[in-house]
Structure 1
Amino acid sequence: MSKLRVIAILNVMSQIEGLFDNGCPPGLFYRARLPEAPPRGVIVLMHGLAEHSGRYDHVVNYLLAQGYAVWTYDQRGHGRSPGQRCYVNSFDDLTGDLAKFVDKVRAAHPGLPLFLLGHSLGALEIADYAASGPAGINGVVLSGLPLNIEHGVSHLLVKLAGVFSKVTPRLGVQKLPSNTLSRDQTVVDDYVKDPLVYTGKIPARMGAELFRVTRSIKSRLADITLPLLVLHGEHDRMADPSGSQLLFDQAASTDKELHIFPGCYHEIFNEPCRDTVLGVVGEWMAGHG
């Protein structure tokens, strides 16, 4: 049984915190924030690599104001969840966690429209999950999808990632360039100082799994049929915008939109254009359930 803590916040919403049983004790830290009035829908929000769910409080606040319940969790090896930082045996473990969490959220809000919103690593997991043909999802919103992660990486380095993954899977091999997250220096400074953000080197196994799963998803884009809202920063140097374009072009979804935000870096929810981005998300969701 998950441990729960319910907190009243300004009499406007309630927050539920606990441990989500993903099959790996003690479980993953999660939180749900609920509007005071009955929600019009529910959103599962997935954070990116090396960060944590708490960095999306401003996004959650916007969605709450639109009448949605928002559920999120710190992924294994991230934030307040256990595990070696940013390490995963298989990307399938991450997508499996998402599928279990979606089932938990659906059980808590039966009959409500259900949306998935993910950034970067979270977007990649949602794309992988969407390609499996899940039922009962009203739509997905993907931000900064790193589908073309191999762009700009030498073929030799990709091969070496596979070798290191087998020989020394937990060895840190590459740091994320924090200065390319946002044009807002305050965002970058807060990211670096945040004790729940991992700023060390990403383990070899995670890198190899990212290369593997992006190739897998590309081979299954035609299996994605859910309504799609795809968002990307024009000047994203961490995840090439061409990956979002590829998804938009090849997904079988008949209901899909692509928005490339001029001048924006990787974290479009933390860019100067954040209000515009959130407005696009809110309007799209309102039209889908």
Structure 2
Amino acid sequence: MSIISMGTHLQLLIHPSRSPIPHRGSLLQVADHGVRGHRHVRAHIMAARKAIEGVSDELNAVASQNMDFAPARRRVRTAFLPVQQQLNHVLFKMAVPEIQMEERYEKSSRGVEIFWKSWRPGQGEPMKAALFFCHGYGDTCTFFFEGIAKIIAAAGYGVFAMDYPCFGLSEGLHGYIHSFDEMVDHVIEQYARIRGMEEVRGLPHFLLGQSMGGAVALKVNLKQPREWDGVVLVAPMCKIAEDVTPPALVLKALAIISNILPEAKLFPQKDLAELAFRIPQKRKMTAFNAISYSDQMRLRTAVELIKATHDIESQLEKVSSPLLILHGAADKVTDPQVSRFLYDKACSKDKTLKLYEESYHSILEGEPDDRILEVINDIILWLDSHSTLK
């Protein structure tokens, strides 16, 4: 999650499932270049990434390289994979029955190479339904979510996840959202391809969105209301609190500037790890998610997130699919009352809101082990009850 602030107290809460790593030694560089047939200015901020405790100098050197583009991020992920698998976290060390896993790269209709991964029940085991994951801002589907997906797959579900363009292992300028709707269309296209696969076709299909991924999942569902059998939202980003909503004139000014400096990293990010992760040891492990985007937020990205949130808020009464909303009651990053607002506004006749006492924002990663497993089990129980309805 980041807090974006600018002169006039402009703020926006947009937390991913991990916290940003603080940076130091920034240097701003500006260069002209062509983007989508237009001439734009790109502002780079060269920053030294904070050293990751417990890894070699060699790995820290790997993690400190420029990861603006996918080839570098893919190299870093490969280098860090053995270390990640040794982390003392329930999502990495918990033993689960044998499951099938597969990773693929696939070109979208817009020519962007998309990374996606699947976790499925063991060979010969039936698949109850398919669950499609939408990750948070700056995040990837190849770190903490791996453990979540394995547990859900072991319960009989096919779990499918992708990295959005410009995030994780997919192509594109790291951390850049040129158009939120275009990003959502990428998700719709990729997941439509997967839903068309023989082993998935005909099964119930569910969306799972976390933090900003909750906004993505809601937009997907609003665009395809008849395509999904239910939506699970974890601490979703779907409304900006009134006391931090930017004034209309500020929004207009930002929109104009974003056309000139769309990729500029103009907004400082505050490290909110202490607010997102209740358990200090788990909080430290976020640093090992080395390919996450943790630099200053790009201007166009900020504008698109504000616009998307406003658009979703104006359409919440159209949400009609079965809905499960899960939120930490002590979350100081995304307000649990916003989830209650969503619950009240959605027109779905089948909707459930569950608040977890004392829990922070990252209820799937940063809580005590028993709470993490409780939340995952609540998701599985809900999927079980809705997979038999079709």
Q: Same fold (TM over 0.5)?
A: yes
Residue 209 (structure 1) aligned to one of 304, 312, 317:
304
Structure 2 CA distance for aligned equivalents of residues 100 and 39 of structure 1: 22
Kindly indicate whether residue 368 of structure 2 is the aligned counterpart of residue 279 of structure 1: no
Given that 2:167 and 2:292 are in contact with CA atoms closer than 8 Å, whether structure 1 keeps it comes out as yes
Kindly indicate whether residue 149 of structure 2 is the aligned counterpart of residue 51 of structure 1: no
> What is the deviation of 1:163?
4.2
What is the aligned residue count? 281
Q: Which residue is 1:69 aligned to?
A: 158
Kindly indicate whether residue 268 of structure 2 is the aligned counterpart of residue 174 of structure 1: yes
Structure 2 CA distance for aligned equivalents of residues 78 and 221 of structure 1: 27
Deviation sequence 1:163-193 (CA, Å, 0-9, x none): 4423321111132534122112233222123
Structure 2 CA distance for aligned equivalents of residues 213 and 232 of structure 1: 21
Given that 2:364 and 2:375 are in contact with CA atoms closer than 8 Å, whether structure 1 keeps it comes out as yes
> What is the deviation of 1:43?
0.6
Deviation sequence 1:213-262 (CA, Å, 0-9, x none): 11111111121110000111122232222221111101110000011112
Q: TM-score, normalised by structure 1?
A: 0.90
Q: Give the number of the structure with larger relative contact order, counting CA–CA contacts within 8 Å between residues 6 or more apart.
A: 2
Deviation sequence 1:110-153 (CA, Å, 0-9, x none): 11111110101111011112222432311110111112234552
Q: Which residue is 1:241 aligned to?
A: 336
The 3-state SS of whatever aligns with 1:52 is: coil
Structure 2 CA distance for aligned equivalents of residues 85 and 187 of structure 1: 25
- Go from structure 1 to structure 2 and tell me whether the alpha carbon gap of 1:176 and 1:20 turns closer, same or farther (over 3 Å shift): farther
CA RMSD of aligned residues (A): 2.1
Q: Which residue is 1:5 aligned to?
A: none
Kindly indicate whether residue 100 of structure 2 is the aligned counterpart of residue 14 of structure 1: yes
- Greater displacement, 100-109 / 143-152: 143-152
Q: Which residue is 2:236 aligned to?
A: 145
Runs of 5+ in structure 1 lacking a partner? Answer: 1-9
% same residue: 26
Residue 117 (structure 1) aligned to one of 199, 208, 212:
208
Given that 2:239 and 2:313 are in contact with CA atoms closer than 8 Å, whether structure 1 keeps it comes out as no
**Which protein has the larger Cα radius of gyration, Structure 1 or Structure 2?**
2
Structure 2 CA distance for aligned equivalents of residues 175 and 23 of structure 1: 33
Runs of 5+ in structure 2 lacking a partner? Answer: 1-95
> What is the deviation of 1:154?
5.7
Kindly indicate whether residue 175 of structure 2 is the aligned counterpart of residue 82 of structure 1: no
Q: TM-score, normalised by structure 2?
A: 0.68
The 3-state SS of whatever aligns with 1:220 is: helix
